[in-house]
Amino acid sequence: MEAIAKLKYARISARKVKIVIDLIRGKQTAEALAILRYTSKAASPIVEKLVKSAMANAENNHSMNKEKLYIKEIYADQGPTGKRVRPAPQGRAYRERKRTSHITVVLAERE
Protein backbone atom coordinates (compact mmCIF):
# COMPACT_ATOMS: atom_id res chain seq x y z
CA MET A 1 0.00 0.00 0.00
CA GLU A 2 1.30 3.44 -0.97
CA ALA A 3 0.14 6.99 -0.35
CA ILE A 4 0.93 9.63 -2.95
CA ALA A 5 0.92 13.43 -2.90
CA LYS A 6 1.77 15.60 -5.90
CA LEU A 7 2.42 19.29 -6.32
CA LYS A 8 2.28 20.51 -9.89
CA TYR A 9 3.50 23.84 -11.25
CA ALA A 10 5.47 24.83 -8.13
CA ARG A 11 7.14 28.18 -8.87
CA ILE A 12 10.66 26.97 -8.09
CA SER A 13 13.12 25.23 -10.37
CA ALA A 14 13.44 21.45 -10.14
CA ARG A 15 17.20 21.84 -9.69
CA LYS A 16 16.69 23.71 -6.40
CA VAL A 17 14.09 21.21 -5.18
CA LYS A 18 16.33 18.20 -5.91
CA ILE A 19 18.95 19.47 -3.44
CA VAL A 20 16.36 19.33 -0.64
CA ILE A 21 14.66 16.06 -1.58
CA ASP A 22 17.98 14.22 -1.74
CA LEU A 23 18.33 14.90 2.01
CA ILE A 24 15.15 13.04 2.96
CA ARG A 25 14.85 10.18 0.46
CA GLY A 26 14.36 6.84 2.28
CA LYS A 27 13.97 8.38 5.75
CA GLN A 28 11.14 7.94 8.27
CA THR A 29 8.58 10.73 7.94
CA ALA A 30 9.22 12.17 11.43
CA GLU A 31 12.94 12.39 10.73
CA ALA A 32 12.31 13.87 7.28
CA LEU A 33 10.07 16.60 8.71
CA ALA A 34 12.73 17.48 11.29
CA ILE A 35 15.38 17.74 8.57
CA LEU A 36 13.12 19.93 6.42
CA ARG A 37 12.22 22.22 9.33
CA TYR A 38 15.89 23.10 9.91
CA THR A 39 17.08 23.23 6.31
CA SER A 40 17.44 26.82 5.12
CA LYS A 41 16.51 26.40 1.46
CA ALA A 42 13.57 27.95 -0.39
CA ALA A 43 12.21 24.51 -1.31
CA SER A 44 12.10 23.24 2.30
CA PRO A 45 8.67 24.64 3.30
CA ILE A 46 7.16 23.49 0.01
CA VAL A 47 8.45 19.90 0.39
CA GLU A 48 7.52 19.85 4.11
CA LYS A 49 3.92 20.74 3.30
CA LEU A 50 3.83 18.07 0.60
CA VAL A 51 5.17 15.36 2.96
CA LYS A 52 2.52 16.33 5.54
CA SER A 53 -0.14 16.06 2.84
CA ALA A 54 1.09 12.59 1.85
CA MET A 55 1.00 11.56 5.54
CA ALA A 56 -2.60 12.77 5.83
CA ASN A 57 -3.51 10.85 2.66
CA ALA A 58 -1.93 7.69 4.08
CA GLU A 59 -3.73 7.99 7.39
CA ASN A 60 -7.17 9.05 6.15
CA ASN A 61 -7.50 7.34 2.77
CA HIS A 62 -5.50 4.13 3.29
CA SER A 63 -5.70 3.63 7.11
CA MET A 64 -1.93 3.39 7.44
CA ASN A 65 -0.06 3.82 10.74
CA LYS A 66 1.70 7.21 10.63
CA GLU A 67 4.54 6.06 12.94
CA LYS A 68 5.59 3.37 10.43
CA LEU A 69 5.60 5.60 7.33
CA TYR A 70 8.76 6.28 5.35
CA ILE A 71 9.52 8.08 2.12
CA LYS A 72 9.66 5.36 -0.49
CA GLU A 73 10.01 7.66 -3.50
CA ILE A 74 10.41 11.39 -3.92
CA TYR A 75 11.28 13.18 -7.12
CA ALA A 76 11.00 16.54 -8.85
CA ASP A 77 10.43 16.87 -12.57
CA GLN A 78 10.75 20.01 -14.63
CA GLY A 79 7.46 21.75 -15.42
CA PRO A 80 6.73 24.29 -18.12
CA THR A 81 8.91 27.38 -18.25
CA GLY A 82 7.22 30.76 -18.41
CA LYS A 83 9.08 33.20 -20.61
CA ARG A 84 9.08 36.94 -19.92
CA VAL A 85 10.90 39.83 -21.56
CA ARG A 86 12.92 42.31 -19.49
CA PRO A 87 14.19 45.59 -20.92
CA ALA A 88 17.96 45.79 -21.18
CA PRO A 89 20.43 48.57 -22.04
CA GLN A 90 20.60 50.09 -25.55
CA GLY A 91 17.09 49.01 -26.55
CA ARG A 92 17.76 45.31 -26.16
CA ALA A 93 15.56 42.81 -24.37
CA TYR A 94 16.66 39.95 -22.14
CA ARG A 95 14.56 36.86 -21.74
CA GLU A 96 13.68 35.82 -18.19
CA ARG A 97 12.78 32.19 -17.66
CA LYS A 98 10.34 31.50 -14.82
CA ARG A 99 10.89 27.81 -14.15
CA THR A 100 8.36 25.50 -12.54
CA SER A 101 8.52 21.95 -11.21
CA HIS A 102 6.28 18.98 -10.47
CA ILE A 103 7.10 17.33 -7.11
CA THR A 104 5.86 13.83 -6.17
CA VAL A 105 6.08 12.08 -2.79
CA VAL A 106 5.29 8.37 -2.31
CA LEU A 107 5.01 7.01 1.24
CA ALA A 108 4.86 3.37 2.32
CA GLU A 109 4.67 1.50 5.61
CA ARG A 110 7.84 -0.09 6.94
CA GLU A 111 7.30 -3.63 8.17
- Residues 105, 39: Cα–Cα separation, whole Å: 18
- Residues 77, 85: Cα–Cα separation, whole Å: 25
DSSP string, 40-90: -STTHHHHHHHHHHHHHHHHHHS---TTSEEEEEEEEEE-PPEEEEEE-GG
Q: What is the pLDDT of residues 4-58, one digit of tens each?
A: 999 999 999 999 999 999 999 999 999 999 999 999 999 999 999 999 999 999 9
Q: Looking at the predicted structure, is the pLDDT value of residue 68 above 90?
A: yes
Q: What is the pLDDT of residues 79-101, one digit of tens each?
A: 999 999 999 999 999 999 999 99
- pLDDT of amino acid 40: 96
- Residues 37, 33: Cα–Cα separation, whole Å: 6
- pLDDT of amino acid 14: 97
C-beta separation of 102 from 13 below 8 A = no
Q: Read off the DSSP letter of residue 91.
A: G
**pTM for this structure?**
0.91
Question: Which residues are registered as beta bridge partners of 2?
Answer: 108
- Residues 101, 96: Cα–Cα separation, whole Å: 16
- pLDDT of amino acid 33: 97
C-beta separation of 52 from 32 below 8 A = no
C-beta separation of 12 from 43 below 8 A = yes
- Residue 111 — very low, low, confident or very high, per pLDDT cuts 50/70/90? confident
Query: Would you kindly state where each structural domain of the chain is located, as residue ranges?
Result: 2-86+94-109
Fold classification of 2-86+94-109 (topology level): Ribosomal Protein L22; Chain A (3.90.470)
Q: Looking at the predicted structure, is the pLDDT value of residue 77 above 90?
A: yes
